[in-house]
Amino acid sequence: MKTAKSKLLLMAAMAALTTGCAGAWNGANQSLTVAEEHPISVDSQVVTLTVALDQTTSDLSSMDKARLRAFADSYLTNGHGPLTITAPSGAASDLDGEERASDIRKYLNEVGVDWSAITGASYRVGEDKGRELILSFTRYVATPSVCGVWTGLKGRDYGNLRSPNFGCATQSNLAAMVADPRDLVEPADMTSADAQARIRAIRAYREGAVTSSDTDADIDAQIAN
């Protein structure tokens, strides 16, 4: 009988301990990591550049080339997807737009944009419109959560929890410093392997050459000492 009572008391104590573990200070909010409590949102943004059509000249001006070069540098650094050149359609300036789009495409390729990355499109305009081309591409922008939250401090202190702002500055700095915010969503694609380097290493190994990196004997001696 005593054994049965002891088992009941033990089970009641375990139930009380289990209930205590699921109390107010051990819930879902307390299991959040810093990245979950201060998330960084990554959104896509369309970057555009307009180039006016000038019927008095058939060449790109030095100002147009400077703007296109800066636009191409921005695309090569942060752009994703195609770089689109949208020309007017349905106006008397259609031919001028096509010629200027061709010139822009050639110049973008000269400053480093691959041919396959440049696409064309058109937008419908009236006879008295359509005096500019629109260049566009997509990039990603990282926005951190707002820091400086001071509400709920007493409750967190009572529960021996970290402050609401803990880790927020680190997340904000990460959002500001990341080179390509899209890397926060998924890793960047790997570049193709250097087959020539592999072939050189295999050939050197077969010929009995040293394939390891050169080391400094003095450094080895210092490490040994």
Within a 10 A sphere around the Cβ of 83, how many other Cβ atoms? 22
- In this prediction, residues 94-114 reach a mean pLDDT of 87
Residue 93 confidence class, pLDDT cut points 50, 70, 90: low
Predicted confidence (pLDDT) at residue 24 exceeds the cutoff of 60: no
Highest mean predicted confidence (pLDDT) among 89-93, 175-179, 204-208, 221-225: 175-179
Q: Where are the alpha helices (DSSP H) in 50-180?
A: 62-78, 94-110, 153-158, 168-177
Residue 22 confidence class, pLDDT cut points 50, 70, 90: very low
Q: What is the pLDDT of residue 80?
A: 93
d(CA 28, CA 26): 7
- In this prediction, residues 191-211 reach a mean pLDDT of 82
Residue 143 confidence class, pLDDT cut points 50, 70, 90: very high
CA angle 16, 20, 26 (to 5 degrees): 155
**219 vs 125, more confident:** 125
- The correct CATH number of 32-187 out of 3.10.450.50, 3.30.360.10, 3.30.1330.60, 3.40.50.300 is 3.30.1330.60
Of 61, 74, 55, 48, nearest in space to 134 by CA: 48
Q: What is the mean pLDDT of the chain?
A: 80
Of 96, 179, 97, nearest in space to 135 by CA: 97
β-bridge partners, 42: 142
